Structure 1
Amino acid sequence: MTNFIGFENLDKIDYETIRGEETRCHFCKNLCIRTFIDLKVNEEKKRFIIATCDKGEVESKEELKKLLKERSSLQEKYPNFVEISNKLLFKSYKPKKVVKENGIINFFRKKKLEFLKNAVIGIPRVLNVYSYAPFFRTYFEALGVKKVVFSDFTSEELYRRGSKRGSIDPCFPSKVAIAHVHNLLFEKKGVNIIFFPCIRTLQGEIYKAEGHWACPTVSATPEVVKASFTKERDEFRERGVIYLDPVLDLEDTELLERQLYKVFNPLFGITKEENREAVREGLRALEEYRRTLRERAREVLERLEREGKVGVVLLGRPYHNDPGINHEILDEINKRGYPIFTIESLPRDEDILYRIFERDILEGRIEHPMDIRDVWKKCYSENSSMKVWAAKYTARHPNLAGVDLSSFRCGHDAPIYSLIEEILEETNTPYFTFHELDENKPSGSIKIRVETIDYFLKRYEEEVLKRREVAV
């Protein structure tokens, strides 16, 4: 129902629609249709604009400038860490060069080093790359490749252009990987190597977990993508591109070094020491990314505590950072004035963790703030375990609410739907779900849902302020 701001008790007022017309919005290249409705209420006229986004709800450039200025100020104070993460994830961390060319170099190494310096590495911007992009980009830059490029963020156009080679049944985040490789192969100039590793295990953060495995569908996707480009003819060879999809274990640094050396020693002629140093540079960049993200998030979280405001935690998987996968749901919530935290951005300083989980530790439910065995004993899938841990973090912090995003046919998410709900309901924490997301973006229903979320979060903020006043 439209919220007619400025008119009270509309059911008691005689009003009539005096004009309705459609027009194109010209404030961006999409040229969306919008509808103007002029109402006459007790001799007073008021115009309402129905549009697909808030930019379309203003009429003049001056109003648009004012809107964008207000939004920019609000987002600076209460930012969206999905956007911040994406900027930090894919930037260069300027590592030192580790490959040495001084001294006597034999003919074969010289040729391989020339290929290294002319290598343009393309990496699909999908799946667990949203956790480990700083590591991979920095590893290659430390070796001295010419350039590292990522495929574009997911969009309807990208998917439509590149998804004609078949499909991967389980979920859209895996299925769309074909389009991302197409983007690198046909639309990014100069790419001569596509690197899309089968990441088998992830760096472990959960205390005493049974394992730190990646989703098997995610792990196998690079191999399935390769098959789609080579089934009838080898499109990589036709375009002079090398496709690399090695199995990598990120939980074991020594094993990871051996796996990368096995791939890039024959290709680039690098030594074991050069490979080891490149891995170390990559890990340093990954740590810098996480530290920068969490330091900023701590500032925002402390502001929420001081002001009695509420932030929203995205309970999702790494690929839900992709605006084409999350359908910009987080942007819509953020526009309402709520900061959005990703799981990776949640501050993990010892003082914060022990403050949040102190009661659980004192009661003997857990041994460590990163322990989830009290609610989820079979914690072997790392991303599932991190969702459960983030739900506990959200439930125990009075200034946070949760939004659970899950993609269609996610086998690892399904068993924890009810668990996450129970964790958050135990502390009466607001919790909203967008399950079974796929390639279709239902803009209208998302907007209605976000309006509902905004209403309940405003009521929750009132409760937070009351509790703070009582505590004082």
Structure 2
Amino acid sequence: MNLRVGIDIGSTTVKVVVLGEQNELLFRSYERHFSKTRERAAETLRSIGDMLSGKNVHMVITGSAGLGVSKASGIDFVQEVYATAAAVNTYVPGTDAVIELGGEDAKIIFFGGALEERMNGSCAGGTGAFIDQMASLLNVSIDELDTLSLKHEKIYPIASRCGVFAKSDIQPILNQGGQKEDIAASIFQAVVDQTVAGLTQGRELKGKIVFLGGPLHFLKGLRERFVDTLDLDAEHAVFPEDGDCFAAMGAALCSTDYAARPFDECLKLLEESVDATEALDTMPPLFADKAEYDAFLARHNANHPPEADLATYSGPAWLGIDAGSTTTKMVLIDPQGGILYHYYHSNLGNPVSIVLEQLREIYKRAGGRVSIQGAAVTGYGEDLIKNAFQCDLGLVETMAHYNAAKHFNPNVDFIIDIGGQDMKCFKIRNGAVDSIMLNEACSSGCGSFIETFAKALGYDIAEFSKIGLFSPRPVNLGSRCTVFMNSSVKQAQKDGAGVEDISAGLSISIVKNAVYKVIRAANADDLGKHIVVQGGTFLNDAVLRAFEQELGRDVIRPTIAGLMGAFGAALAARDLGLERSELLSEKALQSFTHTAKPTTCGLCTNHCSLTVNQFDNGRRFISGNRCSRPLGKEKAELPDLGAYKYQKLRAMEGKGAGSGVRGTMGIPFGLNMYENLPFWYEFFTRLNFEVVLSPESSRKLYLKGQHTIPSDTVCYPAKLLHGHVEALVEMGVDAIWYPCMSYNYDEGIGDNHYNCPVVAYYPELLAANVPVLKQTRFLFPYVGLWRHKDFEKRISKLMEEEFSIPKKETVAAARAAFDAYDAYKHDLWATGQSYVAQARAQGLPILVQAGRPYHIDPEINHGINDLITGQGFVLITEDAISHLEGYESRKVLNQWTFQSRMYNAARYVCTQPDMQLVQLVSFGCGTDAITADEVRSILEEGGKLYTQLKIDDINNLGAVKIRIRSLMAAMDARAVTSAKESAQRDPA
């Protein structure tokens, strides 16, 4: 029998195996190819020439990057799913499913009957490349990440929906003192969750599961997280010894279906083949010549702070610290804003130690000549650094950046800040920060995006950025996911693009992402006339030039673009007017100590993941809390209509009018049941059912139903329903009631009164995808509540068919239910008005939380309401005021009840001087693409601020806190401006 050779060319590695007559492994190789796929494969084959030269072999190529090599060389190709299946059937018979993770690919293959494959599509979160990037963020090697994960004490919820943006979940934990061991394990758990939720698509993972691919072969911590999550024993979790090369082994097994060839001929075909190329899609150059570049530099370098020298200066100074997502920036200024000292560096996952080191350096250089009279801190690590070093002020990032921008241009009306993973854009109106835009689900337009490629191509970021300045033909790479952009870059290289062309193309793609994905600008005038750009990414001249070219106008980039947050904080510290700062002295720093320990708060149902930071002299700071209870303070008791509604609905259980003799009726507490529960609870208890609600939503409940979720892109509130219905089945209810409802109540405020398609028809999806529902009576008929008589007729027939209940009894129950719903609605209106009156009596600002009924669920809103009331707002919900405005035609088709309420609430807020509105939207909600623009339009035309809060299954509230605090700062600034204008009009 001829020897069989299998070559698996993946997105990041090449695997080569040789099998003997008994399918034994004679040779195996696993190497990274760094985009040199054909060359790497040929080099490996040359290394085994002694074994195979002069012999006939069966050779087959497989893998996600193997088809092109196969076509170019003429060597046979087999699809990787079939190759993997061949290896699994041969070496691990009886397998039920395969989970395989590669560099950019993740797939699950289900066996049993026809093979079924599920594979990642538009996102490469949860793959080997994602793990590489997370290790880089923690400043550890992959092996060190694995070792750390095995020592974890707790797991934090971290998103792996984006290979870069997961940093926004990790960074606050780091900045608040979280342990790297816990974060490492949480990263692996994120990969597991992404794989299970994103790829199973409703099909249950059970039986014998084989784990393949490099990450699962090499990383013990990742294996542990999969085994624990799927609750597998040693018999059902199989990790083959050569699991990293299984697809190559399968290719070798399949090779007998193809003709044998001399090995030397195969090697020659591979060596002499030419990669297929396509015509490059190129764009105009950034700079035509060096003279144009020099003029560009001269214009921007004119924007600099006054010269200052710490070595010779004596007098007062003010310190600003920007503890950012990936970097720490520090600035010490004199009274004129001259920079005496500055620092900009990666925080290496430990901002406290960085600031400690730099403070010691400042005191050393100041030599007693300089008196620090104020210190302010901003950024993700604001609270931790402020408490650690006793800074005088903490301020929200948007205000810090505005302070800095108006120092260089008092007329600034638009600021864009692009950092390592964050993008912040905000308009300035009437001297105050107005609408704020932050990147949410993707950071392919941020600094780490371009840094990733610089490292991959062997350059440091500064050198890589300069290479593209004079490229005659920048490659058009679009603006895709950071990880998947690798494929575009590799293809461009194959098509003849040089590193300079790719560098320029990436700089342009950053700008396109910022302008069209985050800002969503139609033209330059949408931004403003006086634009200031800042953030470390804009220190890249190629990015700045691309930005100006895209807008068709000049902008201002201060020479300290990367330090603007710290500079703005220093200016704010100066404006405090303190005689001396509370900042830790040089002597106090000598005994400074810091330890951090993770724990879980059990004082309420939120179960916040806390980090207890302990400093010298018994000082401590607790982070991760949504309320003040862990700090030894009682929760703020400001009126909160969202909490009132939630508690009122949960309190219904056990208080019905009926005897319960007809059995237990389970109702899942989610989606539109937050709207309809008062009706259905009254209806079924009147019919003498005992109504049982599913448990309160929680992360644990979500994970209970995760394996039955068929779509990873549906909103989190819908995903939670899978856990709710599974919990009701476990509780042993006699039946579950969850009807399909195409229409909601007709409140006369819209063009129609539909429920959104997910809310309306999710019961049908649950019936088809949750196997345990077959163990109970799951009732999901089509019903409508907006036509009373029609409802009575239909529900009477249904109750008679299902439970033999007489029509007269059902009609009486229905009428009582309509009365109960009306009573609930009027109580809600009255309570909302009482909260408004209380706020006005106490002079407190009122915030309207506009969203859906289910946004009051603490697991869905992650405690946003606590955060809002904690900032001093009285909180009411949109349904408490939407009835105060009548119907008005909108620019869009206004056909959804919940959305109509938001529009009316926004209209009403515009008539109330002490109210502002925030809109809650869920990732995965299609209608919000429309409602967000419409609500923004209503508010801005009415002179109000628009603030949007996006929420999904991860509970990092960093971006939410920035928005709420920015809203407060903008309100304060508007109040000051209004007072000044009033004083000017009436000097007396």
Tell me, yes or no, whether TM beats 0.5.
yes
Alpha carbons of 1:276 and 1:289: their partners in 2 closer, same or farther (altered >3 Å)? same
Give the superposition deviation at 1:463: 7.3
* Equivalence for 2:821: 286
2:862 to 307, 327, 342: 327
Moved more, 285-294 or 9-18: 9-18
| Partner secondary structure for residue 707 of structure 2 | coil
State which of 675, 688, 691 in structure 2 corresponds to 1:148: 691
> Does residue 33 of the first structure (1) align with residue 568 of the second (2)?
no
* Residue equivalent to 2:930: 415
For 2:939, which of 424, 439, 451 is the aligned residue?
Answer: 424
Q: How does 1:97-246 map to 2 (within 5 A)?
A: 117-145=661-689, 147-168=690-711, 169-186=713-730, 188=731, 190-207=732-749, 209-230=750-771, 235-237=772-774, 239=775, 241-246=776-781
Q: Which runs of no fewer than 5 residues in structure 1 stay unpaired?
A: 39-44, 100-115, 354-368
From the superposition, tell whether residues 285 and 466 of structure 1 become closer, same or farther in structure 2 (CA, over 3 Å): farther
Structure 2 partner of 1:51 = 623
How far apart, in 2, do the equivalents of 1:277 and 1:380 lie?
31
* Aligned match of 2:150: none
The answer to whether the 8 Å contact 1:159/1:179 transfers is yes
> Structure 2 unaligned runs (5+)?
1-377, 394-569, 575-579
Deviations 1:244-293 (A, max 9, x none): 00111121112222232232112222222211110111111111112222
Question: Which AA in structure 2 matches 1:329?
Answer: I
- CA shift, 1:384, in A, is 1.5
Q: Give 2:953's match in structure 1, choosing from 430, 439, 442.
A: 439
**Map of 1:108 onto structure 2:** none
| 1:163 match: secondary structure | helix
1:199–1:249: 8 Å Cα contact kept in structure 2?
yes
Quote the residue 1:19 is aligned against. 593
Instruction: Measure the CA separation in 2 of the matches of 1:255 and 1:148.
Output: 24
Q: Which amino acid aligns with 2:759?
A: V
Instruction: String of CA shifts for 1:168-207, please: whole Å, max 9, x gaps.
Output: 3432222221111111112x2x411111111111111134
Q: Offset of 1:454 from its aligned partner? A: 4.0
Q: Tell me what 2:392 maps to.
A: 7
> 1:439 is aligned with what amino acid?
D
Distance between the aligned counterparts of 2:752 and 2:800, measured in 1? 30
For 2:977 and 2:817, how far apart are their aligned partners in 1? 44
Provide the residue aligned with 1:41 in structure 2: none
**Of 800, 803, 819, which aligns to 1:268?**
803
> Quick one: structure 1 residues 261 and 378, their matched pair in 2 at CA, closer, same or farther if it must change by over 3 Å?
same
Aligned partners of 2:650, 2:628: CA distance in 1, in Å? Answer: 31
Asked if structure 2 preserves the Cα contact closer than 8 Å seen for 1:91 and 1:134, the reply is no
Deviation track 1:347-399 (CA, whole Å, cap 9, x = no partner) reads 85xxxx4xxxxxxxxxxxxxxx32121x3462222112111111111222112
Of 425, 428, 452, the residue aligned with 2:966 is 452
Q: Give deviations 1:97-123, integer Å, cap 9, x for gaps.
A: 5x9xxxxxxxxxxxxxxxx72411111
Match of 1:371 in 2: 887
**2:61 aligned residue:** none
Report the equivalent of 2:648: 88
1-side partners of 2:829 and 2:639: how far apart? Answer: 13
What SS does the aligned partner of 2:824 have? helix
Indicate the SS of the match to 1:89.
helix
Q: Deviations over 1:190-249 (max 9, x none)?
A: 411111111111111134x3311111121110000011124xxxx334x3x210001111
Q: TM-score, normalised by structure 1?
A: 0.77
Task: Go from structure 1 to structure 2 and tell me whether the alpha carbon gap of 1:47 and 1:389 turns closer, same or farther (over 3 Å shift).
Answer: same
Q: Which amino acid aligns with 2:837?
A: E
Q: CA 1:313–1:124 in 2, change beyond 3 Å: closer, same or farther? A: same
Matches of 2:928 and 2:859 in 1, distance apart? 19
Q: Distance in 2 between matches of 1:347 and 1:259?
A: 30
**Alpha-carbon contact 1:171-1:409 (below 8 Å) kept:** yes
Relative to structure 2, which stretch is displaced further, 414-423 or 438-447?
438-447
Match of 1:311 in 2: 846
Determine the structure 1 residue equivalent to 2:294: none
3-state DSSP of counterpart to 1:372: coil
Kindly name which structure, 1 or 2, has the bigger radius of gyration based on alpha carbons.
2
Write the letter of the residue equivalent to 2:704: R
Q: Deviations over 1:391-410 (max 9, x none)?
A: 11122211211111111121
Q: Which amino acid aligns with 2:736?
A: I
Match of 2:911 in 1: 396
Instruction: Give the Cα–Cα distance (whole angstroms) in 2 for the partners of residues 323 and 57 of structure 1.
Output: 16
1:389, 1:417 → 2: CA distance? 14
The question of whether the paired residues in 2 share the 8 Å contact of 1:312 and 1:401 is answered with yes
Task: Tell me the CA shift for residue 96 of structure 1.
Answer: 5.3
Instruction: Tell me the equivalent position of 1:341.
Output: 876
What is the distance in 1 between the residues matched to 2:392 and 2:756?
52
CA contact (8 A) 2:845 2:872 kept: no
Amino acid at match of 1:142: R
Identity of aligned residues (%): 24
Could you tell me how far apart the structure 2 residues matched to 1:271 and 1:46 are?
Answer: 70
Distance 1:95 1:20 in 2: 54
Q: Against the structure 1 CA distance between its residues 339 and 57, is the aligned structure 2 distance closer, same or farther, given a 3 Å change threshold? A: closer
Deviation at 1:345, TM superposition (A): 2.3
Alpha-carbon distance between aligned partners in 1 of 2:721 and 2:872, rounded to the nearest angstrom = 33
Q: Alpha carbons of 1:402 and 1:21: their partners in 2 closer, same or farther (altered >3 Å)?
A: same
Structure 1 position 428, deviation (Å):
2.5
Equivalent residues of 2:682, 2:813 under 8 A apart: yes
SS of residue paired to 2:879: coil
> For residues 16-65 of structure 1, what are the alpha-carbon distances to aligned partners after superposition, in whole Å with 9 as ceiling and x for unaligned?
54222213557537563222345xxxxxx89461411166796xxxx71x
Amino acid paired to 2:888:
I
Equivalent pair of 1:327/1:441 in contact (CA under 8 Å): yes
Secondary structure, in 3 states, of the residue corresponding to 2:594?
Answer: strand
Mark the CA change 1:447 to 1:410 in structure 2 (over 3 Å): closer, same or farther.
same
Q: Distance in 2 between the 1:297 and 1:404 partners?
A: 18
2:832 aligned partner, one-letter code: A
Q: Which amino acid aligns with 1:150?
A: L
Q: Secondary structure at the match of 1:170?
A: coil
Q: Aligned with 1:194: secondary structure?
A: strand
> Which of 771, 791, 812 is equivalent to 1:277?
812
- C-alpha separation between the residues in 2 aligned to 1:380 and 1:56? 41
Q: Residues 882 and 901 of structure 2 are in contact (CA less than 8 Å); yes or no, is this contact kept in structure 1?
A: no
TM-score by length of 2: 0.38
> What is the CA distance between 1:136 and its match in structure 2?
0.3
Residues 1:460 and 1:284: Cα distance change in structure 2 (over 3 Å): farther
Report how many residues are paired: 405
How far apart in 1 are the matches of 2:982 and 2:619? 40
Amino acid at match of 1:49: F
1:165 shift after superposition: 1.7
Measure, in 2, the Cα distance between the counterparts of 1:194 and 1:345.
Answer: 30
User: 1:305, CA displacement in angstroms?
Assistant: 3.3
On the 8 A contact 1:27/1:55 being kept in 2, the answer is no
What is the distance in 2 between the residues matched to 1:7 and 1:248?
A: 60
- Indicate how the Cα distance of structure 1 residues 468 and 259 shifts in structure 2: closer, same or farther if over 3 A, else same: farther
CA offset at residue 129 of structure 1? 0.7
